[in-house]
Amino acid sequence: MSGDGAMEWSELFRQLDTLIGGALSFDPAVYDTSLMDDRSRFASTVIVFTAGVSVLLGQCFALFLVSASPIGFVFGLLFSGASLTLRLGLWIAMSVLVARLLFDMPVSLWNFMSVIFIATTPLIFGFLAVLPSIGIILLYALYGWTSLNMMFGMFYGAQVPFLPGAVCALSGWMLAGLLERLFFTRSRSARSGGFLFASRELSRFSSAQILDFVKQKVKSR
């Protein structure tokens, strides 16, 4: 049993190595939906979850140091990973819904969700945003790289027709944003400075804004 478990973990790590290396080098094979299986879909989820954790670690490291317990720090990072996974998943779900309603396209939700998840690979290095002066520049570069990955993976790797794909992606993004506003902005914890606030709002702040927020948190303690 333990041997089988070790083999499964070894296969997962090999799958992650293949997907991460392919995404960073713009290999269209990693986005080929006809080659995806349960293992690759799970690996893609690990990638996007790790990306969410890394981005928040880079952006809000100082905040957690002054305002969260060690357990709170860990849970905040885990929440950030889950938040990015769910938000991107919601976007793709809405896009697939639009594709089926407007274009009658037989789109596989889980495969195209994996395409976008794999495209977030550059954000695994989001922790570099913690570096002084150049950190925020590096983070913007990683976001740009991720955007290019998404377009490359969807339109070239997965062979989605450009115009219908762009319409579905944009419509899905708008619908997902509407749903997020309806539910997220009504949450008290989203405005309380807690984990929801940190993962959703502070990730948009500049380094100077985060520093000001940290100073306010220190003064209020």
Residue 89 has pLDDT above 60, yes or no: yes
By the 8 A CB rule, do 76 and 64 touch? yes
Question: Residue 164 pLDDT more than 80?
Answer: yes
- CB 47 within 8 Å of CB 118: yes
> How many structural domains are present in the chain?
1
**pTM score of the predicted model:** 0.80
CB–CB of 175/101 below 8 Å? no
Mean pLDDT throughout 38-56?
A: 92
Instruction: List, for residues 187-205, the tens digit of each pLDDT value.
Output: 444 444 444 455 455 555 5
Position of tokens 């303690």? 221
Mean pLDDT of the chain: 80
Question: Please, what is the Cα angle at 48 between 127 and 180, to 5 degrees?
Answer: 100
String of b and e for 181-198 (b: at least 16 CB within 10 Å)? eeebeeeeebeebbbbbb
Percent of the chain with pLDDT over 70: 75
Give the residue numbers spanning the domain of 25: 2-220
Helix (H, G, I), strand (E, B) or coil at 105: coil
Q: Calculate mean pLDDT across residues 131-146.
A: 88
Which of 2-6, 10-14, 119-123, 125-129 shows the lowest mean pLDDT across its residues?
2-6
Which residues have C-beta within 8 Å of that of residue 206, sequence separation ≥ 6?
Answer: 136
Least confident range of 23-32, 34-43, 189-198: 189-198
